Amino acid sequence: MKIGNIDLGHRPVMLAPMEDVTDRSFRLICKEQGADMTYSEFVSADALIRNIAATTRKLAIDPGERPTAIQIYGREVAPMVEAARIVEQAHPDIIDINFGCPVKKVAGKGAGAGMLRDIPRMLEITRAVVDAVSLPVTVKTRLGWDHESKIIVELAERLQDCGIQALTVHGRTRSQMYTGHADWEMIAKVKENPRLTIPVIGNGDITSGEEAREAFDRYGVDGVMVGRASIGSPWIFHEIALALGKTELPMPGIDKRFSLLRRQIAESVGRIDEYRGILHIRRHLAASPLFKGIPHFRDTRIAMLRAETVAALDEVLSHIENEILPQHLQSIQ
């Protein structure tokens, strides 16, 4: 699969853009674990052109994570064009436009998935951004605003006509947010449209290697994007690579998985500061499957998520890794 002249290989798997999740450190780890392409956190066009420091920091790219895309969002043409030109100077491989974020503070203001209620403006923004930069431009969006307006098959054609070079479809409407199940049949209809020639990337509910393989085998997508299932579990990309026959290396063991979480903690703290870095990483710890299914874990989980220093957090993790988890694994064998 190619996006422009960027060859992502056969059956590529991407790390989805996620706010407060896909920072540079996490992207690089996912790349090392087998992700074929990474995406930045959401970059607000308005904040970028105002030179807000927290936003401009999102443009930093580690050479080891390439190819990577920086994703921008906004509701007006001129700021989106200006933001795209600024992003181009950061030298990502791709610029992605976010027409899919469903959260109220984005979609409720008409950006992200909010654009699904204003298709003419969506197309105007897309066309203007494509014309303004020399990098490949892609779009990520949803099936439609709600169940009564699943317009993605026709919309995909119109976005292609604007000049985008790939389309990612999350198999839910904006109204669904992240509830229910992703509709991969609708994603397949987009891919089956003979008038669509750009790559189609499917997104939604990919939580295992088998599900990723089914997305390719059953629904015929060109690429698969993994989002929430990677939080606290970057090794899911290794699992998917195994299922797709891309590697024969065994899954990382428990010690390696704890090492990856500790690396995230250290790099998060190094990037921000100890207190805010730990706050940032709590989402990964809370979601990690490493801690699921352990009986009587509530108090330890609370201690882990309340730790405010690296030393305190490491002490809890060491207790889990060296005492709690071995006992749990032994009990279920």
Q: Which of 228, 174, 171 is nearest to 200 (CA)?
A: 171
CA dist., res. 223 & res. 216, Å (int):
7
From CA 78, how far away is CA 83, in angstroms rounded? Answer: 9
Structure tokens at 184: 């991969």
101 is catalytic: yes
Q: Which amino acid is at 68?
A: T
Among the listed residues 101, 125, 164, 188, the single catalytic one is 101
Which residue, 330, 328, 303, is CA-closest to 317?
303
**DSSP label at residue 251:** P
Kindly report whether the peptide bond that precedes residue 67 is cis, defined as omega within 30 degrees of 0. Answer: yes
Closest CA to 135 of 78, 64, 85: 85
* d(C-alpha 123, C-alpha 314), whole Å: 49
Radius of gyration of the chain (CA): 20
Instruction: Enumerate the active-site residues.
Output: 101
